[in-house]
Every structure is written in structure tokens, then in C-alpha cells.
């Protein structure tokens, strides 16, 4: 047991904060410790000074090291020197800034001359900025949260932050970080200046965590009262101060983050602009094999500027789309096919026999912004549009000329996009929509579609023909996979990351059983790209296979070979993935496992999306109670005013 009077100094490996637990894993000189108790705002890699009694934290404070300050300071060097500057910092000791400014001999021995000159020039020109970083750290603001503040105020950032720390909420700094800094400056959490920041934080969290573009005024006031102990007057004052200070905007009896309001309003304006235009006329010939509602959908899309074609699996969306594209080709119109993800675009290309691309590639997304130019093309067809957020669909429509057609194809019963907004829901109620409801004769008896139909209708699954195998742990799923000797490995889909049936546990257990070894990634492992990289063309959500692992990891991703460092955080195992991640993809054989520990995530839309990823074979797994709960639970409402804006 450690001496409660002597602090422990270590590096945070991971930290967690849940409604029932808070703590961290700390690497010290004596090894790794798991500690439980209240923490200041920390991130992996930062230094923590902790006072403990056994494994319980009695006090903890973050230590801002000179290296952290230097990394933030020299990350402000402009490209192309920035990457090289950050790469050499570890070679300059625990205080790189001191080495650069005070130890020319060491600098010259460890850094190429041209880069050394760039570092010293930056240190000399921006010396006041380094002082501001130090001052902000003394005020309790860690360096990773200072970029936007320094961009606005420069060397005056400490004075501005000291005067009103809570206004920094507009720069994306979490309220918890500002609360910690405010306490260090002697401010109480009951200080009225905190109220507007709290209203902003709740609205921001609603967007980032739940996909809302706004919150109705009564909902925000109720959250301030019920969850944060403000009385009616204080809640109203907090909202008014946030609006008056332009932290939030009010429209249609709802409050928005300014950026979310701009995106939603612009999307509505572009839809209205396109709908008011007159596209070229298209003659639709009779197409053998189309049902009445499929032909009606073709005629609708051929005759309107903006339209939606929606339907579940087996209703013939692909057949309808092919007939529509043939009619557009016959009219000498250039069609551009796209989808929100690489997998969805690849499926679209295979099913239509025409080139298709991702929306991000089409719009030349560079990791920060979309291109703003007008796209060449007469017709823009977006598949899997249920996955498109306000920002993504808005970026496309802003780039479509007047007189062009936009055809949006998707399944309105699937999950909404991860990012804020749910434009498909609003569009099916405001623009011409062709609904495909009739299941094809060859698909009507499918056990997969029978289960999907029961789930989306809110019925408890029963007598579907889909086998159910109970499972309570990752080992149960491993045994289920291993029992399929001689068969291709199925994809495992689950609702969440944590827990015994979460993605993390499943991936580790499946890798250990199916591809044992002692490295993080091994030849033969399926992998998932988790971050966009526009230098390599790799996008979040792409999948691939490791073909070599050593000093470098070599992967085949979408028929192209790529190399990574063994610890590259943008790659993760993909024996299993979350259902949200699976949208837009299909596999021949799938095991879907639903577990009670993911109850907060379960809904009929989630389960429906999961089972409809299976093309040929499906096994339901987990606990029956979790499947029943999912079938009886509708997806949480997603707040948006897009429909209101479109009807103005």
C-alpha cells in the first residue's frame, strides 16, 4: 500500500468516467496501477500526480510538462515543416523548447540545419505565444485545448481567459475542463457566468452524442432544471444569456449551435432552390418486369428535380434504379452515382454496372472542408442516403447546379446517420417520394426478411426461421464461429464496444482463437480503417486484410496495398464491428449478437439494420431478452427543424 502522504507520479494510459465509476490506469516507474476515484480532466499520455490509499485516489492533479507545452507550441509551425518539427521533438529531451532556445550545440547535433533554423526562428518570433501557453497552463487550461483561444487572442489569451473562463466554451473546450480551471481561479460552479456555458454544452452534447441539430426550448430548460439543479428562473436566464452572447441561436422555438443552424438552414435553402428549377424532360419507356409501384417510382424521379426512392430489403430498389438510369442514359443525361461510404459505393457500382464513388471523394473532402465548386453532371444519385448527415448532404446539394436532378435512394427504417441531422426523415415528408413496399416473390419467404419485418414492426421475434443461439460472453461467440468448420468466417455484429459481448472483447477473443500470435496485428487479420487519410485515400469505415506484419504492417484495402506502423491507431481489428459501422455493407454470413449491457443502444431500427446486412445466412445470438427489448424500443427522437424550414 502506498504512503497516503507521498504522491505517485505517472503517465495516464487510459482514463474512464461513467455514471458509476471514475479512474485511470497509470504507468509509473514501478509498473502499471489501476486507480479509482475523481480525476481532473486528463487524456492518455498526460502526466498525473496522485495521492492514494490502496487503489483509491484521494487527490489527483494533472502536471503540464515542458514537453507537452513544446509539442503544442511547435505544432503551430506551418506546413511543410510542421510534421518534421513534431517528429524531432522527442530527440531534444524532456524540455525541447529549452534545447531549441538555449542549447545550440545539442540542437545542431540532433536536427538537420534547415529544420533547426525553422525551429529557432519560430521560437524567436512567437516567444510571447509560448509565454501565453505557460500562463494558460498555470490557469488550469491544458495545452491541447488552447489552439482556438490562441488563434483568436494571441498572446492576450491568458488575460481573456482569466477575465471570463466560461466564454472559452465557444472554442470547443469541454465544460468539465473549464469547470476545473474556474475552480483553480476561485470561481464557484454556482457562478451565474457558468449558466450560458452549461446551456451551450448541453446543446453541443446533444449534437455530438445524439445527432440532434437543435433542442426545443422546453427540452433544454427541462434539462437545465432536472439534471443540473437550476430553478426555473436560473434556467431561463442561462438560455437568454447564451442567446444574447451568441453562443446559441433561436429559430422555430428551438436553440441551435450557430454552425448547426447554418448547415440546416443552408440545406433547406438548397433543396428549395433545386425544387424550384426545371430539369430536362425524360421519356420513360415501358420496362418489362417492373411492378406498378416500381414504375411509379421511376416516373416520379424522372419527372422531378429532387426525389426520394425508399424501400426495405427485397422491394426492388436496385431494379428500380437500374430502370431509371437506363431512361436517363437514353435522354443523354450524365448521371453521377455516389454513396456515403466506400463499401456502399462499391455495392452501388456492382449492382448498377456503372461507376460510383463516395460523397467525400466526389466533393474533394480534404479532412477539414468540402470543395465549393459546381459539380459537372445532370443527375446525382445518392444510395444509402439514410447514412447522410445534414452536413454531408448539404455539401452535395450546394454543389449541384440549378436544373440538375437529385435522386436519393435508401431505407427510411434504417438507423439515422452518426453525425447531426436525419435529412431522409424530413425529405420523405416534404419532397416527392416513391415508396417500395411490395416484397419480391423470391424474397418473400426469406427468414432474414421475416425477422427484419417483425423487428421493424415492433413484434417480438418468433418463428422466423433464423436460428437463435444464446451467448453471454465472447468465448461463446468464438465457439459458435469455430463450429462452422470448412465455412467462410462470418462477420460478427454487435451494438456497442464495451462489455463481454462488445466489439473490443469480441475482436480480441476471435483473433486469439482464429489467428493466434503475440503482435497487435497479424497476417490474416481483417482490419477496419477508423480515420480519414486524404494523403493515402483511405477513409473511415474501409475494411481490408493484413498480409504481412513485422516492422511494418502491410494491408490490402480495396484492392490496394498500404503499409502502416504496427501501432497505428487508425487501424483496428474487424472480426467484429458495431452495427452502426456496418451500415452500407453486406456480408454473405452474419452473426448478430445483442446483449443487455448495451440496452441504452438497442432499438428496433438498430436490430433491423443489423439483420438486413446479411445476404445469405444469418444467426441471431446473445440474449433473447435483449432482442425483445430491441423490438419493443423505438429509436430515440432526433430533434431537427429541417422539415419546418422546408415548409416555410
pLDDT in tens, 353-412: 999 999 998 998 877 788 889 999 999 999 999 999 999 999 999 999 999 999 999 999
Burial string for 333-345 (b: 16+ CB within 10 Å, else e) reads bebbbbbbbbbbb
Q: Are 171 and 146 in contact (CB under 8 A)?
A: no
**What digits encode the pLDDT tens for the residues 70-95?**
999 999 998 788 989 999 999 999 99
Q: Taking a C-beta distance cutoff of 8 angstroms, is the pair 398, 267 a contact?
A: no
The pair phi, psi for residue 464, each rounded to 5°, is -90, -20
Residue partners of 169: CB distance under 8 A and separation at least 6? 175, 178, 196, 197, 200, 201, 247
Task: Output the nine-digit C-alpha cell for 362.
Answer: 466526389
The confidence score (pLDDT) of residue 118 equals 94
Nearest alpha-carbon partner for 275 in 424, 412, 408, 431: 431
Architecture of domain 192-256: Orthogonal Bundle (1.10)
Query: What pLDDT sits at residue 538?
Result: 79
Give dist(CA 541, CA 545) in Å, integer.
13
CATH code of 262-442, in short, is 3.40.50.300
Q: Name the strand (E) or helix (H) holding 63.
A: strand 56-63
Residues of the chain short of pLDDT 70, as ranges, are 1-5, 441-444, 534
Max Cα-Cα span within the chain: 85
pTM of the model: 0.87
Which pLDDT belongs to residue 341?
86
Per DSSP, the three-state class of 81 is helix
> Class of the 447-632 domain?
alpha beta
Q: What is the pLDDT of residue 534?
A: 64
Among candidates 356, 414, 363, which has minimal Cα distance to 385? 414
Give percent helix, percent strand, percent coil of the chain, each to the nearest 5.
Answer: 45, 20, 40
347 grid coordinates:
455495392
Query: Are the CB atoms for 139 and 158 separated by under 8 Å?
Result: yes
pLDDT value of residue 442: 52
pLDDT for the residue numbered 140:
94
Collapsing DSSP to helix, strand or coil, 158 comes out as: helix
Going by C-alpha positions, the residue among 214, 220, 221, 217 that lies closest to residue 257 is 214
Find all residues with CB under 8 Å of 570, minimum gap 6, and list them. 529, 530, 531, 533, 538, 564
CA quadruple 17, 19, 22, 24: dihedral sign? negative
Burial class (CB in 10 A: 0-12, 13-18, 19+), 471: buried
Amino acid at each position: 500500500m502506498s504512503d497516503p502522504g507521498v504522491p505517485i507520479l505517472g503517465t495516464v494510459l487510459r482514463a474512464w468516467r461513467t455514471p458509476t465509476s471514475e479512474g485511470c490506469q497509470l504507468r509509473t516507474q514501478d509498473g502499471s496501477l489501476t486507480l479509482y476515484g475523481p480525476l481532473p480532466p486528463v487524456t492518455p499520455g498526460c502526466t498525473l500526480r496522485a495521492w492514494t490509499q490502496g487503489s483509491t485516489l484521494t487527490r489527483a492533479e494533472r502536471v503540464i510538462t515542458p514537453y507537452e507545452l513544446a509539442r503544442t507550441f511547435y505544432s503551430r509551425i506551418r506546413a511543410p515543416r510542421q510534421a518534421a518539427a513534431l517528429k524531432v521533438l522527442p530527440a531534444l529531451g524532456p524540455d525541447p523548447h529549452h534545447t531549441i532556445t538555449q542549447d545550440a550545440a545539442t540542437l545542431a547535433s540532433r536536427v538537420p540545419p534547415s529544420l533547426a533554423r525553422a525551429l529557432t526562428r519560430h521560437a524567436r518570433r512567437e516567444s510571447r505565444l509560448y509565454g501565453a501557453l505557460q500562463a494558460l497552463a498555470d490557469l488550469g487550461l491544458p495545452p491541447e485545448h488552447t489552439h482556438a483561444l490562441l488563434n483568436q487572442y494571441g498572446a492576450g489569451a491568458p488575460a481573456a481567459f482569466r477575465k471570463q473562463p466560461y466564454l472559452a466554451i465557444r472554442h470547443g473546450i469541454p465544460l468539465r475542463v473549464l469547470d476545473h480551471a474556474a475552480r483553480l481561479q476561485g470561481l464557484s460552479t454556482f457562478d451565474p457566468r457558468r449558466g450560458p456555458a452549461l446551456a451551450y454544452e448541453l446543446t453541443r452534447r446533444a449534437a455530438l452524442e445524439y445527432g440532434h441539430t437543435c433542442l426545443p426550448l422546453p427540452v433544454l430548460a427541462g434539462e437545465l432544471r432536472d439534471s443540473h439543479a437550476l430553478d426555473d428562473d436560473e434556467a431561463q436566464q442561462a438560455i437568454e444569456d447564451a442567446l444574447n452572447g451568441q453562443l446559441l441561436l433561436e429559430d422555430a422555438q428551438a436553440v441551435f449551435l450557430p454552425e448547426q443552424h447554418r448547415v440546416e438552414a443552408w440545406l433547406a435553402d438548397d433543396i428549395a432552390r433545386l425544387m424550384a428549377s426545371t430539369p430536362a424532360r425524360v421519356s420513360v419507356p415501358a420496362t418489362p418486369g417492373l411492378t406498378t409501384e416500381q414504375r411509379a417510382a421511376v416516373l416520379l424521379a424522372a419527372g422531378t428535380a429532387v426525389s426520394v426512392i425508399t424501400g426495405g430489403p427485397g422491394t426492388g430498389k436496385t431494379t428500380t434504379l437500374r430502370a431509371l438510369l437506363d431512361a436517363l442514359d437514353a435522354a443523354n443525361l450524365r448521371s453521377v452515382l455516389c454513396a456515403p461510404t466506400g463499401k456502399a459505393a462499391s455495392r452501388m457500382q456492382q449492382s448498377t454496372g456503372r461507376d460510383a464513388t463516395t460523397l467525400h471523394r466526389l466533393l474533394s473532402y480534404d479532412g477539414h472542408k468540402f470543395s465549393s465548386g459546381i459539380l459537372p453532371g445532370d443527375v446525382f444519385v445518392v444510395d444509402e442516403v439514410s447514412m447522410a448527415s445534414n452536413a454531408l448532404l448539404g455539401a452535395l446539394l450546394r454543389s449541384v447546379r440549378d436544373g440538375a436532378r437529385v435522386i436519393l435512394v435508401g431505407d427510411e427504417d434504417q438507423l439515422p446517420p452518426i453525425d447531426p441531422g436525419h435529412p431522409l426523415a424530413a425529405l420523405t415528408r416534404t419532397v416527392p417520394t416513391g415508396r417500395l413496399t411490395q416484397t419480391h416473390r423470391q424474397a418473400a419467404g426469406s427468414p432474414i426478411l421475416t425477422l427484419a419485418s417483425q423487428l421493424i414492426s415492433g413484434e417480438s421475434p418468433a418463428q422466423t426461421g433464423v436460428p437463435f443461439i444464446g451467448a453471454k460472453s465472447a468465448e461463446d461467440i468464438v465457439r459458435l464461429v469455430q463450429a462452422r468448420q470448412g465455412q467462410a468466417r462470418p462477420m460478427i455484429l454487435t451494438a456497442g464496444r464495451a462489455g463481454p459481448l462488445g466489439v473490443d472483447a469480441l475482436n480480441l477473443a476471435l483473433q486469439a482463437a482464429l489467428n493466434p500470435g503475440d503482435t497487435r496485428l497479424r497476417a490474416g487479420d481483417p482490419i477496419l480503417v477508423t480515420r480519414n487519410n486524404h494523403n493515402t485515400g483511405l477513409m473511415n469505415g474501409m475494411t481490408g486484410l493484413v498480409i504481412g506484419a513485422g516492422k511494418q504492417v502491410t494491408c490490402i484495402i480495396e484492392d490496394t496495398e498500404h503499409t502502416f506502423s504496427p501501432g497505428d491507431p487508425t487501424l483496428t481489428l474487424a472480426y467484429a464491428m458495431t452495427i452502426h459501422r456496418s451500415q452500407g455493407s453486406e456480408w454473405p454470413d452474419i452473426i448478430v449478437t445483442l446483449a443487455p449491457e448495451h440496452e441504452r443502444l438497442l432499438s428496433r431500427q438498430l436490430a433491423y439494420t443489423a439483420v438486413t446486412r446479411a445476404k445469405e445466412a444469418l444467426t441471431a445470438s446473445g440474449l433473447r431478452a435483449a432482442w425483445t427489448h430491441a423490438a419493443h424500443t423505438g429509436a430515440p427522437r432526433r430533434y431537427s427543424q429541417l422539415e419546418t424550414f422546408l415548409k416555410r
